[in-house]
Chain A
């Protein structure tokens, strides 16, 4: 065992740095992800982008191997379950095809049409990785240079809602998934509209309706509502997990989202609102708040 050494200047230095870090942290939190510190953050991301890109290319095969090894058992079980579900969905699809054809005819006759993903400007991007172990937010390999701006909705390959852009810079961006967002999403289940909120540490979300609620059944589709300002209407989000009856006039039901953020490899970013483009002066700033979540002051479904 060696002799214990003391260092006279180390203590004042660390105290100074800790105080400095608290000051920076306070400013960053209070500035809501805007201003000088947001610029510093963007600059750091842009500067280190080449290093990360190089790292991504070099380690991608190794990451694939580790990832596949760690997921092989769960993938087998999941495959079995998915095969069963596929057969079920194929039967349902056949029935839906007929309904879709009838809807198309009715829309044409009535001169209305429902929007789908093809109606929006979209940008495909690769998921580079999670921001860190303590957060479900993840990074994309495209950012402002591809027209991806803060607040843009993100969906997966199937068009299922994933989350929205929390930070964007030239060369990359960060997505906060809905299951880690402090903001609720305004959604529709059948004919009723309510809010869908994340539950800390859970992959299940909570759907709430406070007035004249009716019962929901397991498997009922949950889609974004036309009342949602942050997302286009009609995006599939998930399905009701269990049959749930309202209590009085209110309903609280569990919803299982369709996407699992940790398994995404590529996503599609939607330019929403559709008139929002890079360089517009009125581009809304959506500040980052603690835990990697974002707060949109104008969001009608913001949680307190």
Chain B
């Protein structure tokens, strides 16, 4: 793996191309006029098969298609709701993009509500568009998030928590009372627990986790749970 290569803007990334395989470059990389691949942000160079991208610590969210985000309803009009998803402009969410919604039967969304949605169009030239249903027209977890507590983390931590190989939440949930958690790719986390104490505990645990490496996760959780039993 290319784990430890840290690229800075303008660095030329030399990738040996395999015959017959197309190269795909992702966030942080671009092709310049000479057909070489150049980085335009700083970050760790990552690779998966023929995909290359830079993993960087960004705080500002830039919407892209099929990402799941947590938004806040800002304004309502007849057909759509404007949602703040932390990007440069508000995203629009149609009232019809909810499960079982019709022209007459509109979903109950108030200004200030939290919504868990999927980005339908995330194009730099267009206003982002959100939906709260999947391809089959089912909500499957999307929609208004009631009660609970929302806080912000950096985007890199959100991606880490969501990645399939990450054990942090899995291990944590085995050892403490059940809770609900929703992580948006835009760096917002919503948690709902049965007690205030647990909310504070989770909030602190997740914030502290941003400084913990993947290999130290196990130890970190052990220490956390020790603390947690002291709290009780």
Task: Judge: A and B partners, yes or no.
Answer: no
Q: Which residues of B contact A (CB under 8 A)?
A: none
Q: Which residues of A contact B (CB under 8 A)?
A: none
